[in-house]
Amino acid sequence: MKENLLNNEEAIIKGKAVSFNHKFTEAEFRFPPIDTQEIIWEAFGEIEREYMGYCGFWGNVIINMIKEDCIKPEYLASNLNGVNETGIYMLDNAINSNDNKKIDECIRRILRSMSNPAPRGKRIVFNDFYLGKAYWRWNWANKMSNGIIGLNFKEILNTLDEKGYTEFYQAMHTGGGKSYISQTNVLGGLLLFLNKNPETLVKNIKKIIDTISYLSAWKAIEVQSPELNKQEIQIIANNLQG
């Protein structure tokens, strides 16, 4: 795996320049808290942003983290959704099982933890891969705190929590009509709205994003201010409730 990664043009030799002066616990590796997110962000401060979406680059970083004892190899098998399902437990469970599906799921988890792109392509960097998700959440919070008035960095990061970021990362990163969400003014309006209406995140956020994408086809909401877009989103939310 190391040989393949180092021969991958996306791995880039600069992957070796990333250094963490920090040993991650298993829980911290899976769900980096705010202070660990900052460590991750700062570790990549001098790396060109384009590399941060490359699966090969991140895979190389993970190999170096294991070599430098920043993470233990068994962390890679940790169950994304489990609280007590550690990597050791998941590995033992798979090795001692005759269930091919369980074994397959364990292998897929390990590969995703290394930012292996199959079967979901580069999308894995932004949501299924722990360090990538932490980096890109911080990146969006940093970008948007400089692009909208009325929300500071911490408020945006809180809105882009595990649940919030997961709900609309796909719309921001995977292209198509929904990529309008990544426009500063559109995302700014959405963040302004969600900050005041956090319950909507759970109930109707997918429908709201779909409606915004539809509106963007004939109404240039991406050139409106975040404040005006917040009003548009409020109307959409009211109609959904009605």
Verify that 120 and 162 share a domain, yes or no: no
Does a structural domain hold residue 138?
no
Selection from 83, 236, 91, 58 nearest residue 162 by Cα:
83
Average pLDDT over residues 72-94: 83
Q: Residue range 30-38: average pLDDT? A: 90
> Domain check: are 22 and 127 in the same one?
yes
Pair 123, 184 in one domain: no
**79 and 50 together in one domain:** yes
State whether 177 and 71 are in the same domain.
no
Statement to judge: residues 10 and 127 lie in one domain: yes
**What pTM was estimated for this model as a whole?**
0.81
Amino acid at 185: N
Clarify whether residues 73 and 114 are in a common domain: yes
**pLDDT at residue 66, rounded to an integer:** 92
Question: What is the rounded distance in angstroms from the CA atom of residue 106 to the CA atom of residue 237?
Answer: 39
Mean pLDDT over residues 77-81, rounded?
Answer: 75
pLDDT at position 55 = 82
State the pLDDT at residue 140: 86
- Peptide linkage before 119 cis (omega within 30 of 0): yes
pLDDT band at 164 (very low <50, low <70, confident <90, very high): low
Q: In which domain, by residue range, is 94 found?
A: 2-131
User: Which of the pair, 155 or 176, is modelled with greater confidence?
Assistant: 155
Q: Is residue 68 part of a domain?
A: yes
Q: For all residues of the chain together, what is the average pLDDT?
A: 79
pLDDT at residue 175 in the model: 52
Domain end point (choices 131, 160, 195): 131
More confidently predicted of 119 and 37: 37
The reply to whether 12 and 127 lie within a common domain is: yes
Let me know whether 13 and 117 are in one domain.
yes
Q: Which residue's entry shows tokens 């001692």?
A: 96
Number of domains in the chain: 2
Angle, CA of 168, 173 and 177, to the nearest 5°:
80
- Residue 196: is it exposed, middle or buried by C-beta count within 10 angstroms (0-12/13-18/19+)? exposed
User: Do 117 and 44 share a domain, yes or no?
Assistant: yes
Q: At which of 64, 97, 131 does a domain end?
A: 131
Same domain, 105 and 189: no
Mean pLDDT of 175-187: 67
pLDDT of residue 199 exceeding 90, the answer is no
DSSP output for 65-127:
HHHTTSS-GGGGG--TT-SS--HHHHHHHHHT---HHHHHHHHHHHHHHTT--TTTTTHHHHH
Give the pair of three-digit tokens for residue 97.
Answer: 């099982």
Residue 188 lies in a domain: yes
- Do 153 and 114 share a structural domain? no
Residues 104-131: tens digit of each pLDDT? 888 888 888 888 766 566 677 887 788 9
